[in-house]
Amino acid sequence: MDRLANTIRPYAWGSTTAIPHLLGTEPTGEPQAEMWMGAHPGAPSRTDRGTLVEVIDAAPEKELGAASVAKFGPHLPFLLKLLAAGAPLSLQVHPDLEQARQGYEDEERRGIPVDAPHRNYKDANHKPELICALTEFDGLCGFRDPLRAADLLDALGVDSLKPYVDLLHAHPEDAALREVLTAILTADPEEMAHTVTEAAAACDRLGGAHAPYADIAHHYPGDPGVIAAMLLNHVRLQPGEALFLGAGVPHAYLNGLGVEIMANSDNVLRCGLTPKHVDVPELLRIVRFEAGDPGVLRPEATPDGEEVYDTPIDEFRLSRYVLPAGGTTHDLTRSTPQILLCTAGSVRAGEHALSPGQSVFVPAGEKAEVSGAGTLFRATVVA
């Protein structure tokens, strides 16, 4: 079992206080957006044996287990994060596995450098993800019912939005959503910036269901993503609640601290709320124009006290233990690799005492007994 030293990424949207508060450290005044735990080459965790990439590369089957290597290859298939949003992230979608393979191969064939700003596919993998709230957590997830979206836009009283309102009343709903999103993203930039300014002022005046979009517009003035965001469900998670974000589902995180886990991929197609490249034709190929409930997840308890967040993919499995003072020791030994992360209290994992924000990597088959009084998240795979 290896204690992990993890990199904190200073993305501009990050909170300046949430991660330091969890870790019990002084804020630096700079944003601290994500703490990465895993073997992503961009910022691998470090151990006494080297980086986690080096540790796994030296003996994949020993560290990951034969079943995981057979199913996912000789690398850790997930990335675990602490995510602290102090401002909205970009509105985005992720491809499914086949779309990612096709897109990656196409861009490789066309000779687009992997680090080019207009490159969509950094790898050939999909990127399903799960966010579990540690604090109250706001986000956008999936399309609203088109009629509800029409009502939200119509209430603003902005004349230039009337055509979108009319389109959202059309049938079938998938075609209506596609037409409106396409129109928003391909509108004249100056005209759209004026529309967004009017809409933001109305959102600020109306408050209520419109308040989140006023805040988004404050961070991204004139961005067409502000109007696109109003097509999506606004979700406020309470601590312990989660969202699963599958392929093609448009989403954005707005504010709060959470534990995020995802397949080990960098493939993102952006819809707005960003100065980065937006490839509208490719985005429209990937987005699933399906309205519905965002599907807030609550963990399902097992007899041994493990609380599991059920998801339909195998690259990761996230669960947690809420350990009471004086409780029993839990044996977490598995034939698959694990990362254990403490988020509250004090937890002992093997020989390691973990305080909030501290984590360990547990190789496949390694004895893993945990005890203490606190909250421990467990990340592994289904193999």
DSSP 3-state of 101: helix
Angle at the Cα of 306 (from 304 to 311), degrees rounded to 5? 135
H or E stretch covering 375? strand 369-380
Burial of 75 (0-12, 13-18, 19+ CB in 10 A): middle
CB 293 within 8 A of CB 69: no
Q: What residue spans of the chain are helical by DSSP H?
A: 18-23, 52-58, 60-64, 66-72, 97-109, 146-154, 162-168, 173-186, 189-206, 211-219, 225-229, 280-286
Task: Give yes or no: 270 in active site.
Answer: yes
CA distances from 287 to 19, 43, 154, 234, 257 (A): 32, 29, 24, 18, 26
Only one residue has tokens 């312990």, namely 240
3-state DSSP helix/strand/coil % of the chain, to nearest 5: 30, 30, 40
Catalytic residue among 270, 317, 320, 334: 270
Is the torsion defined by CA of 243, 244, 245, 249 positive or negative?
negative
Catalytic residues: 270
